[in-house]
Chains A and B, each alone.
Chain A
Amino acid sequence: MTNQMLDRELKKGSAELLILSLVEAVPRHGYEISKLIESRSEGRLRFHVASLYPLLYRLEKRGWIEGRWVEKAGERRRRFYRLTSQGRKVLAAQRDTWREFVEAINLVTGMDNA
């Protein structure tokens, strides 16, 4: 129980960072993003539709990512999200914040995490 709550809180705080970083290099669509999170975290983190998309839309509304419908030949159209310039700034800031946070925790708890 405590773990789940913690998980949720942790996830909430880091979710934005996750998504922003994933669309930093190349535009991705929703399913791609969720698959990447799942695969890169080796199954530890999972985002379902019900939690992923509200997050995407929130980030889009803030102007940090930009969603566009793209139609490729022979396929149905998909919504791709990419990082905006404002989003880039936010991503950099969030990365710094996260790093500092982790360092702080480590310092306090005496854990050593590279």
Chain B
Amino acid sequence: MPDWKPEIVKRLASLRLGATREAEIVEELAQHLDDRYADAIASGATEPEAYRSAIAELSDDELLASGLRRIERRVSPEPVVLGGAARGNALADAWRDALFCLRTLRKNRGYAAVALITLALGIGANTAIYSLVHAVLLRPLPYANADRLVFLAELMPEGRGRSGISYPNLMDWRERTTTLDDIAAFQSQSYTLTGAEVPIRLQGRRVNWNLFTLLGTTPQVGRLFVEEDDRPGAPMAAVISDSLWRSRFGADPAVVGMSVRLDGAPCTVVGVLPPTFEFVRRDEIYTTLVPVATETSGLLDRGNHFSIYAIGRLAPGVRVGQAEDELSAVAAQLAGEYPNTNSGNGAELKPLADVLVEDVRTALFVLLGAVGFVLLIACANVANLALAHATERRREIAVRLALGAARGRIVRQLLCESVLVSLLGGAAGLAVGTALVRGLVALAPPGIPRLDQAGLDGNVLLVTLAVSTVIGVLFGLYPAVQASRTDLNTAQKDAGRSTSGPAHERMRRVLLVAEIALALVLLAGAGLMLRTVVELANVDPGFDGNNVLTMRFNLPQNTYDPPRRRAFFSDCIEKIEATPGVESAAMTFSLPIDGSNWNSIFIVDDKPVPPRAELPSSAFSPISDDYFETLRIRLLKGRSFTPADADGSPYVTVVNEAFANRMWPGEDPIGKRLKQGWPEDKNPWREVVGLVSDVKLNGVDQMTPMQAYLPIRQEPMRSIALVVRTSGNPLASGPAIEAAIHSLDPDIAVFRMMTMDQLRGEALGQQRLTMALLGGFAGLALLLAGVGIYGVMSYTVTQRTHDIGIRMALGARPRDVLRLVVGQGALVAVVGVVIGLAAALALTRLMTGLLFGVGAADPPTYGVISIVLVVVALLACYLPARRATKVDPVVALRHD
């Protein structure tokens, strides 16, 4: 049969029809001519005659075209299904493409669903962590000129780190620096607010009046501090937080000018801060600093370093480095002028933003990295899915190409599908992420700045959108381009078996190996954190914290002189020990693990006095007599305190092992003497009467510091921590103990009541959260990798049903088939694990700061996770492999 197409097409050329329509017409007319030709042959014509009679039907060139022109011109635009020439406006095309994509996705529900869920999980986790990182680290501080604000502190000699600024030093800094045009100091302070109902304890700060002007804060009600408030002898003024205003004063504007009692002293509330105000932490009340800098407070002693820190603002045009240099120079000057107190002291000047997050920065970045890995694994899975999906549609694509679809259009449509899936996955991920963020904020330990403001914001949305689109383009591009290179012949031939080319196969393997490697790295991180938390939990704190209740309270300043304090101590302990359920009670200044210590330099009598910069420093803790017994701290030598160690009796002390080993190594510490403070201070010499075992003071992961205990009667302090050993649940006895205290003085506010275990758990809070998150991500990664392996193996088995059928028909046993499939998977797994191990070893080094008790290259951890991963991979291979063995060779061979 001759080919009529060229002749027909020639006559249709002037119409410039769309490819579809033209193809249709051509087909119909060609049919007609074929029939005419066949008829002619059947009635005896020769071929040339028959050809001529058929061609005659087409007559001259213009007749057909002119006949069709009026009709075809008004034909509606070609249907979307087949590819077409680029006609019509791009927007309409894009819209049609999008609708077509949706329809295609709905048809391939399985593929779309798996891809969507995988992406939702990966993107969701990323959105959550990114929200956190953004809220805590990346967002600019909410103060005026935040990038010009710096944090100031002093540096102790001998590299012992940061310390508070001594008040006289601060004054000199203020006077002598030109690079900072304003400095405001702040000091942590807690107050007891009395008046109505129960006395409450408030967390607050004493600040210079200009702190708020430096931060650019404006009051919600009333006013903030002015210079008059911050002068010696000024009447006490307070600025309160919005939450305190609402909870305690009923948001009444008349609070301005109201008089309250703080620690027993009268104080006027002058203003309320805006609800969003937060400086380092959310404090409830602020008072001024200068009025308390009196002789008796000890603030005017240059050698005393209370926890006073400061912020400063860089003068215009000054860089941080310049200011840092100048301040160090000033500190050096002062060290020269006041060698007794300042020798060896330096100054610390850092951007405020950096200082606020220094504790959490590493952890947050580790988490960000981890969650990025999860996303990569998710993308690899989706890419594999897309590859498989595109391969299945080769035939459809080849047909479209043959019917004249533009290659670019096909690529565009495939890309549209993958972008659509990613955008939908991104939207779902956004929802997942938001929920995750809320959960994390609720579970997070306190002390992470600005965490409570983490949430969905424009930034996060934008990043998620960008990530989704990029993913869609990336994982859609390769399969799309590959698929569009198909030609009909190959596709038709492979139609039954539709195996993919070796290029596809290799790409899939590469993706799998990458997934496994990434999963291993995550598992390494999670495993190390798990070991860390376990190690931390197992650290022997040096005491027995079971069934121990702790709480704190402060004796009001003005009403308790030392004799009254001593009386209170003994009455209080007596009353508490009489409470049912209480076995023993004791008082101390600093609780173990808590880290709230009173540190002081000291000298000992049997060693030469070292230079001032090298004077040793120890934690000094006044305790009641039964302290060691209550906490079951072991007494190694000598004795503990007795009622004989009273005011007026010889001054005594008990030291811990760290102290004895440092000061008197190899010697018996009993009988030695020490004295707090500078060598020339008129403090009493204390004789060491006992040696106790070490107690972890600053958290279980820190080294035990030197510690010297003093009898509370010889050093009666106001701030008291109570430890009570109970026979049953400690918290059950809480109310009774509090009542006992109030029966002695109703104006005492008891706070931070918690069991020792809770205190310990609190200290571990951040590590536990990091571990939980990393563990969660590693688990997710493992799941995704397993699913990915299963998917690819399953697909491979399906594609190779024909092969397997042949093999089994030729006598292969199920075992051999199993070995074949699982063997392939095992190879991929092992390669992935090896690469993953190398990567993990390199990367976990970055998280050393977070680890405790385990090295970043800990062999048991790596060994375990490698085994776990290989087992999971093998399992994921085994299931489809089993399916392969069930193949009926007859069915397989017929499967064409």
Contact = CB atoms under 8 A, between A and B. Distances in A.
Interface of A: 29-31, 34-35, 48-51, 53-55, 57-58, 61, 76-79
Interface SS of chain B: helix, strand, loop or mixed? helix
B31 A50 contact: no
A54 to B, nearest CB: 3
Interface stretch (B55-63, B77-85, B880-888): B55-63
Given A30-B31, A49-B64, A54 B71 contact: yes
Interface string B41-68: 0000000000000001111100110011
A48 B31 contact: no
Contacts of A78: 31
Contact of A49 (B27, B33, B71): B33
A27 to B, nearest CB: 14
B635 interface: no
A57 B24 CA distance: 12
Given A48-B56, A50-B59, A61-B74, A34 B67 contact: no
Interface residues of B, number: 23
A35 B33 CA distance: 12
Contacts of A50: 57-60, 63-64, 67
Interface of B: 25, 27-29, 31-33, 35-36, 39, 56-60, 63-64, 67-68, 71-72, 74-75
A77 to B, nearest CB: 8
A53 B31 contact: no
Nearest to A60: B71
A61 B64 contact: no
A49 B58 contact: yes
A31 B35 contact: yes
Nearest to B31: A78
Given A29-B31, A57-B68, A57-B72, A51 B36 contact: no
Contact of B57 (A49, A57, A58, A77): A49
12 contacts: A30-B31, A31-B31, A31-B35, A34-B32, A35-B39, A49-B57, A50-B64, A53-B25, A53-B29, A55-B67, A57-B68, A58-B71
A38 to B, nearest CB: 11
Contacts of B57: 48-50
Nearest to B67: A54
Residue in B29, B56, B71 whose Cβ sees the most chain A Cβ within 10 Å: B71
A54 B75 CA distance: 13
B68 A53 contact: yes
A49 B29 contact: yes
A33 to B, nearest CB: 10
A82 B341 CA distance: 110
A35 B40 CA distance: 12
Given A54-B67, A54-B68, A61-B74, A49 B31 contact: no
Contacts of A54: 64, 67-68, 71
B32 A31 contact: yes
A78 B57 CA distance: 18
B71 A31 contact: no
A64 to B, nearest CB: 13
Contacts of B25: 53
A49 B68 CA distance: 11
A48 B59 contact: yes
Nearest to B62: A50
Nearest to B61: A50
A76 B32 CA distance: 12
A53 B59 contact: no
B64 A30 contact: no
A71 to B, nearest CB: 12
A49 B32 contact: yes
Contacts of B74: 61
Contacts of B60: 50
Nearest to A48: B57
Most A C-beta atoms less than 10 A away, residue of B28, B33, B75: B28
Contacts of A48: 56-59
B56 to A, nearest CB: 7
Contacts of A61: 71, 74-75
